[in-house]
Structure 1
Amino acid sequence: MSGLGPRRITAAAAAAFGILILTVLRPFPPEGQIVSYALLLGALLAALAMPSFTSVAVTAAQATKPRSAPTTHARPASPTAKVDPAVALKSRWTAACKHHSAVLSAYGAYELDPAMLLQYPALWDLSAQPVMDFHDALDLAGGLQSDAYPADPSDAQDYADAVDILRSAWTKADRFARTTGTDQLAEPDARDCRRALKLLRHADGTTGQERASYLGQVITTVDRLTNRGVVSAVPKISEELATRVQLAIEA
């Protein structure tokens, strides 16, 4: 009976005691004795079989208690990998070399194409601040450029910084030239640029002597603009036009 509650023990003891008194004293006639035995025996069995209030309450509480989610053990975060400064600097230097080449290619499109000179002469206006800044940055990056990764890390750092400046300066100079066009020129000079550009486009649709004639007029106009200080002398463009004339004559 160690598992019984206090109330159940008391009830069972009372029923057992009543049965004992009935057996010893026999206070009732046989019929009443039998009825009394039955009642007390039923009370005894009920006391022994009935679960205690505490057990019922505990069982009910356990049944209604929400199940907690299974505990998961979080893995400790792996420490952040440290980047070797030397490796990072070399990667930046390598990227700077590519960016430098990209700027030179973009600028080369102006230097090698006569149409760019005639459409956007402002890129050769060395009195304009964006153009001056670009040429200064171009000289700085070119002076720090090397074919191989420098032995001195500070040289690599200086070159990467210079290329950053160059990229920004080129963006500003290119925007300045394209947005300005020939607007900063006097009307006679702007007219010469437009006329030479038309002649150049006519030349692209012809061959032989006719093509050479158109190109010759373009060269004359460009020389005139250069002599008047409208555009700076661009040897590469002069060479390109002369080559086109020669090829047209030989065709």
Structure 2
Amino acid sequence: MSRATQIRVGTVAAAAAGVIALAATRPVSAVPLLVCFAVLLGIAAVAAAWPGVDDISVEAAQLRRDSEARAAIRTDSGRHRTPTPQSPHSQSPHSQSSHSQSSQTRRHRWDRACTHHDGVLAAYGAYELDPAMLLRYPGMWDLSAQEIMDFHDALELAGTLRTEQFTDDSICQEYIDSIAILRSAWHRADRFARSTGTSQLGDDDARDCRRALKLLDHANGTAGAERAAYLQQVISTVDRLTERGIVAKAPTIHAALEAQARKALSA
């Protein structure tokens, strides 16, 4: 117990003893006695309520602990604060290296996408450049088939997104994604055309396709005027099928067949 606390306790005890003594002896009349009681009781109350050094020290220590705790929280919060984004010029060499590697990866993927795109165009071109493919698999132009519609939609999208040179931006990624869709759509369309053949056509249309294929075979086995005659019949049949919407208009095939017929006549 501190010195101040001892004094406070002694004062309270003395005041209490005085009250008891006055109550027992009553040395004065009633009014003065009441005044003495009030004074002694007031002294005792003030001494009891007055804060001691120990109480102040406890409060000060608690305040200090609270202050240190808040400071620790602020320090810890500072350690975990999200760093301010740096400009590209202030990036570390490691960050710049990672960005460069990422760009090179996208460039590699873009190059592969272009190669796959060209492969699909070449495979599809066979249907438009080879008269035998045109006549044997007319399902490739059946726009009522979901597989064919999906392929043409994917082909148009890829063609829209393709750029002449690599650009490291969002369009590059969109183009790469579109080629994945295009390849899948092409495989389904090609499988549909090859699996259906002329089975989806009406009797007359299917018969014309088969007849034109036979005429083409005969033309490849002959020469001169006979070859030219067979080729002209193939051209006429293909023209009729094109007009009816059975096969796509193929000006390259038409021109190639006519050139072969003229060459056969002049031989």
Tell me the TM-score normalised to structure 2 length: 0.61
Quote the Cα distance in structure 1 between the aligned partners of 2:265 and 2:158.
Answer: 41
- Do residues 92 (structure 1) and 81 (structure 2) align? no
- Percent of aligned pairs with the same amino acid: 60
Q: Which amino acid aligns with 2:234?
A: V
Match in the other structure for 1:146: 163
Q: Which amino acid aligns with 1:119?
A: R
Equivalent in 226, 230, 249 of residue 242 of structure 2: 226
Quote the Cα distance in structure 2 between the aligned partners of 1:212 and 1:147.
Answer: 42
Match in the other structure for 1:120: 137
Asked if the contact 1:137/1:166 (under 8 Å) is kept, the reply is: yes
Match in the other structure for 2:196: 180
Structure 2 unmatched runs, 5+: 1-97
Match in the other structure for 1:248: 264
- Do residues 105 (structure 1) and 117 (structure 2) align? no
1:77-130 Cα distance to aligned partner (Å, 9 max, x none): xxxxx7932121111001001101111111111110000011000001122111
Equivalent in 101, 116, 131 of residue 148 of structure 2: 131
Structure 1 unmatched runs, 5+: 1-81
- Do residues 194 (structure 1) and 206 (structure 2) align? no
Q: Which amino acid aligns with 1:89?
A: R
**Structure 1 runs of 4+ off > 3 angstroms?**
none
Quote the Cα distance in structure 2 between the aligned partners of 1:235 and 1:130.
Answer: 24
Match in the other structure for 2:224: 208
Report the 3-state secondary structure (helix = DSSP H, G, I; strand = E; otherwise coil) of the residue aligned with 1:244: helix
Return the offset for 1:236: 2.1
Q: Which amino acid aligns with 2:137?
A: Y
Return the offset for 1:231: 2.1
Return the offset for 1:246: 2.1
Asked if the contact 1:125/1:232 (under 8 Å) is kept, the reply is: no
Q: Which amino acid aligns with 1:153?
A: D
1:5-62 Cα distance to aligned partner (Å, 9 max, x none): xxxxxxxxxxxxxxxxxxxxxxxxxxxxxxxxxxxxxxxxxxxxxxxxxxxxxxxxxx
- Do residues 238 (structure 1) and 261 (structure 2) align? no
- Do residues 164 (structure 1) and 172 (structure 2) align? no
Quote the Cα distance in structure 2 between the aligned partners of 1:124 and 1:179.
Answer: 14
Aligned-pair RMSD on alpha carbons? 1.7
Tell me the TM-score normalised to structure 1 length: 0.64
Q: Which amino acid aligns with 1:224?
A: R
